[in-house]
Structure 1
C-alpha cells in the first residue's frame, strides 16, 4: 500500500483495478472503478457488505454523468450535476448504465457530484465515476482519519489518497431525484 497526496500516483492504481481510500466531505471512503467487477467485489469483501445493497458513485465532472442524462428531464439532470448546500447522493433510474454489482437489487443507482475539492479533482483526472462507500466494516463507524483507514484495512487497500477530510458532520444525504424521497438524512 502507498500513501500519497499525488493524484498522478493514484490514477494508475485505479486504472489497474486497484482499491483506494480517500477523504470525502465528512468521512473517509473506499473507491474503485465501478466497471471493474473484481475491484468492486474486493471492496464489498473488505466491508463485509452484500452486493444486493448497491453502492454510491461519485463524479467530479458533469460530463461523466451524461450516460444518465437521457433518462432525466433537463431540470432533473441539472439538479444531479449541481452542487447542493448539503452533499447529496441522488438516486436516479438505471438498469443499463451502472453494472449490476454496483446497482445491487435496484433499478437505480445513487450518484453524487463530490464537493470535496481534492477528491473532485481525482475523479476529474480519472475520467469517469468512482465507487464511493464509507471506509469501515459493517457495524463499525466510518473512518475519520487515514490512520483509522489503516487500522481497519491495513495493506488490503492499494493506496490512501492523503488529503484533508471535508468539514461536514455527517455523510451525504441520499434522496430520490425524481420524487425527493429521503433514504438517508
Structure 2
C-alpha cells in the first residue's frame, strides 16, 4: 500500500462507518463508495450522481469471503471461472442472497460484485470490514473522473471524503459479466 498511508485509509473507513460518501481510486477511474447497508448513504450517493435507483450498484471487496456473504456463488455454474478472475478487474452479476436490499440490486435479482486487486480500494474494504459500494465518480451520463481535478470539478460542493491514490492503470472501467450465462454486459 505504498500509494497511500494506512492512516488515511483508516480515516476513509471511519467516514464510511459514519454514513459518508468516499471518493477513492480504483482500477480505471475514481469511485464513489459508501456503506452498502446504510440506506440513507446509498440513496444520497444515487441522488448525488443523479443515478436511477433501478440500475443497481457494484460492490467491491478485498476477498471472496466478503462477496460470498452477499451472493449465492455456489449456485453459479461458472463459479470456478468467477473465482479464477479474482482479485482482478472483473465484475460479475451473481444471484443475490435473500435479504440483500433493493437499493443495492435495483430492479434485478442479482448483485454486481468484484474482488478488487487495487491496493488502495482493497485496503479500504479491509479497514471498513467488508464490501463497499463502488460506482464511478461522475454525474450520470458524464465521463468518470480519472484525475483528482476532474473529481473536484464534478463534486467540489458536495460533502465527500477523498482518499487519494493512483489509479490502477486500466484504460476502461471493469468489464461486467453475467455469471449465469457468461454474457458480457459491459
Could you say whether these structures have the same fold, taking a TM-score greater than 0.5 normalized by the shorter chain as the test? Answer: yes
Is the 8 Å Cα contact of residues 55 and 109 (structure 1) preserved in structure 2?
A: yes
Q: Which residue of the partner structure matches residue 51 of structure 2?
A: 49
Change (3 A) 1:172 1:157: farther
In the TM superposition, 1:1-185 aligns within 5 A as 5=5, 6-68=8-70, 70-73=72-75, 76-83=78-85, 87-94=89-96, 96-184=98-186
State the Cα distance separating 1:177 from its structure 2 match. Answer: 1.0
Q: TM-score, normalised by structure 1?
A: 0.89
State the Cα distance separating 1:85 from its structure 2 match. Answer: 9.2
Is the 8 Å Cα contact of residues 17 and 33 (structure 1) preserved in structure 2?
A: yes
State the Cα distance separating 1:80 from its structure 2 match. Answer: 3.5
Aligned equivalents of 2:71 and 2:109: distance in 1? 16
Is the 8 Å Cα contact of residues 48 and 137 (structure 1) preserved in structure 2?
A: yes
Aligned equivalents of 2:147 and 2:141: distance in 1? 18
State the Cα distance separating 1:33 from its structure 2 match. Answer: 0.6
Structure 2 segments unaligned to the other structure (5+ residues): none
Q: Report Cα offsets for 1:110-130 as digits up to 9, x if no partner.
A: 101112111111111211111
Structure 1 segments unaligned to the other structure (5+ residues): none
State the Cα distance separating 1:83 from its structure 2 match. Answer: 3.6
Aligned equivalents of 2:110 and 2:84: distance in 1? 19
Aligned residues: 181
Change (3 A) 1:60 1:50: same
Aligned equivalents of 2:155 and 2:171: distance in 1? 23
Aligned equivalents of 2:49 and 2:73: distance in 1? 31
Q: What's the C-alpha RMSD, in Å, of the aligned pairs?
A: 2.1
**Larger displacement relative to structure 2 (120-129 or 78-87):** 78-87
Change (3 A) 1:16 1:118: same
Q: TM-score, normalised by structure 2?
A: 0.89
